[in-house]
Amino acid sequence: MATSDRGDRSASGAHGAWHRWQMGDLGHPPSSDTSVTHAEPPQRRQQQDAEARACQSIAEKARREGLDQGYREGHEQGYRAGYSEGVTEGNAAAELEFHKRLDMTLTPLARLAENFQLALASLDAEIGDQLVELALIAGRQLAGESLAAKPEHILSVVRELLDADTTLSGKPRLWLNPQDLELVTSTMSDTLEASGWECHADPTLERGGCRASSAGGGLDASLSTQWKAILDQRRRSRAGSPPTDAAPLAKKDTGDEEDFDG
């Protein structure tokens, strides 16, 4: 045996170094195909690359979807905000334009209304004046009719004229309507003679009126002169002038005696 072992060791030494046998790992049996072991790394890299590309594609898709959604939402919000702002500005502009046109329309109307009021006031004044003038004319007509119905009114006028002015110098003359002259001379002849007055007829005088003349002046009590005094007093009152007593007898310049003397 010893000789055989030595022979084996010597034989082993002749063929190469001696290696001790060790048991391998039972959990991972060795594979007899060496090509599979060397091919695993490239497949894994390809799989990883594919997964990376898939993840990148998903991320890009998600990014695009997010951008699209954000754009749509932003566009919608911007549209709503812009629409609301546009509506507000449009309403404000429309209201401003409305008030501007309203002012342009109402301003002439206001001036027209003011002018109309002034015209009405002026018309009222004119109509009032015309009515007063008409009333005076009617009153004068009625006065004439009253004097025709009561001719004795001239007697009080003559008495007033005799007492009105004692400054008539010389021999005063009394001028009367021919119809009134007959009534006055038959009723007041004694009084007129005592005062030194002479009575004369004047066809131009209306019934109810008379006038006196002398060398120093005269007094006018004709109806036309009395109505003129009333109208003048009314005009002064309307113009704001202080009213004056309407004298029924108006003084006249000299010369009347010569006008009716012959």
Q: pLDDT, tens digit, for every residue of 175-223?
A: 999 999 999 999 998 988 888 889 999 999 988 888 888 877 788 888 7
Residue 23 pLDDT > 90: no
pLDDT (0 to 100) of residue 254: 45
Question: What kind of fold does domain 151-259 have according to CATH?
Answer: hypothetical protein PF0899 fold (3.30.2320)
Q: With pLDDT > 90 as the criterion, what percentage of the chain qualifies?
A: 8
Q: How confident is the model at residue 90 (pLDDT cuts 50, 70, 90)?
A: confident
Residue 255 pLDDT > 60: no
Residue 256 pLDDT > 80: no
Residue 156 pLDDT > 60: yes
Residue 257 or residue 67, greater confidence: 67
Residue 130 pLDDT > 80: no
The side-by-side arrangement of strands in the sheet containing 217-221 is 198-201, 173-176, 210-214, 217-221, 250-252
Contact 252, 217 (CB under 8 A): yes
Closest CA to 198 of 224, 170, 236: 170
Average pLDDT of the chain?
71
pLDDT (0 to 100) of residue 145: 58
What average pLDDT does range 104-127 have in this prediction? 66
Contact 245, 213 (CB under 8 A): no
Residue 44 or residue 167, greater confidence: 44
Residue 16 or residue 86, greater confidence: 86
Residue 147 pLDDT > 80: no
Residue 54 pLDDT > 60: yes
Distance, in Å, from the CA atom of 215 to the CA atom of 226, rounded to the nearest integer, reads: 23
Q: How confident is the model at residue 247 (pLDDT cuts 50, 70, 90)?
A: very low
